[in-house]
Homo-oligomer: A and B are copies of this chain.
């Protein structure tokens, strides 16, 4: 498994990325990694972690970095030698099987679309996040790649999310729910009402609309939404978890009895915190493009980078892309027969 890692992407790059790569080199002896970034700036960190001459680490120079403030499409043209575009090029040229980046999400999506290209039949790639639910993880597709969508896009997100849940979560017939504002078919906006009709016809385990108040209790294995709403849902979940932890810190330190209580049950607090920890999963795959691209959180820690590399390896192992191509091909006729746009 050959995986390239964008060393310059993320809030704490390149330090934590190099640290994460180091951990991955030790933990996954079957992986061959390529670090992509400004080698002059990386030298100090590679030496610090003692991996400058590691036999399973290649180094590829990239002169530029796409910053968080850059416009993705502009940056893609103006910075042809950014760490992100070099990663996408390695993928396109078949030099690696997967890439990992904690950088600008929009730029990663754009680079993958323009350089690596979408899979045959796929209209738009989707970020497929793994979200914490009360009785296990569920899949959210799209969680941020596409802010304006048409019905066919959401139909394909459902199919790609299904493949992901089936092979990476090991769920035989994943339930698919459409994120909306009411349980019944008639509820929703123009887009979701149209998508409801299509999903009802597809050979998937479609269970109808799901809502914000039941998705976190695992109403569906795969939750389908456009990337704008999906991203708001994803970030809200993070925001509420963080707010709750801050509030608890405050509430549990108000009286000596509460403090003692908190101390006695501190392992429960640790588990609670771990429950919603995005670093655990490392990153979300961008599905629907040639090769695997794992998008890690901007604030990814070294552990998150290590786990994102692991997720990249697993996606390669299960041949997720081949499964997506078949599933899209199988359902093409049904979708087209409905006049879906």
Residues of chain A at the chain B interface (Cβ within 8 Å): 69, 71, 106, 133-134, 144, 147-148, 179-182, 184, 186, 188-190, 192, 211-217, 227-229, 231-244, 246-248, 251-252, 254-255, 257-268, 271-272, 275
Contact = CB atoms under 8 A, between A and B. Distances in A.
Contacts of A211: 232, 235, 239
7 contacts: A212-B232, A214-B239, A229-B232, A244-B244, A248-B268, A258-B267, A261-B265
A93 B265 CA distance: 59
B264 A268 contact: no
Chain copies in complex: 2
Given A232-B232, A247-B272, A216 B188 contact: no
* Interface SS majority for chain A: helix
Contacts of A214: 239
A52 B242 CA distance: 49
B257 A235 contact: no
B264 A258 contact: yes
A236 B234 CA distance: 10
Contacts of A133: 243
A212 B235 contact: yes
Contacts of A233: 212, 232-233, 236
Would you list the 6 A-B pairs with minimal beta carbon distance, nearest first? A261-B265, A261-B264, A212-B235, A212-B236, A213-B239, A147-B189
Nearest to A260: B264
A212 B239 contact: yes
Contacts of A192: 228
Contacts of A244: 240-241, 244, 272
Contact of A242 (B179, B213, B259, B260): B213
Contact of A216 (B227, B240, B248, B263): B240
Nearest to A275: B247
B258 A268 contact: yes
B265 A236 contact: no
A186 B71 contact: yes
Given A181-B231, A232-B233, A264-B264, 10 more contacts: A69-B184, A71-B186, A134-B247, A179-B232, A212-B235, A212-B237, A213-B238, A248-B268, A260-B261, A260-B264
A134 B238 CA distance: 14
A46 to B, nearest CB: 32
A234 to B, nearest CB: 7
Nearest to A228: B189
Interface centre among A188, A229, A247, A268 (most CB of B within 10 A): A268
A260 B266 CA distance: 12
Contacts of A212: 231-239
A6 to B, nearest CB: 19
Contacts of A231: 181, 212
Given A147-B181, A181-B228, A271 B242 contact: no
Nearest to A227: B181
A230 to B, nearest CB: 9
A265 B260 CA distance: 8
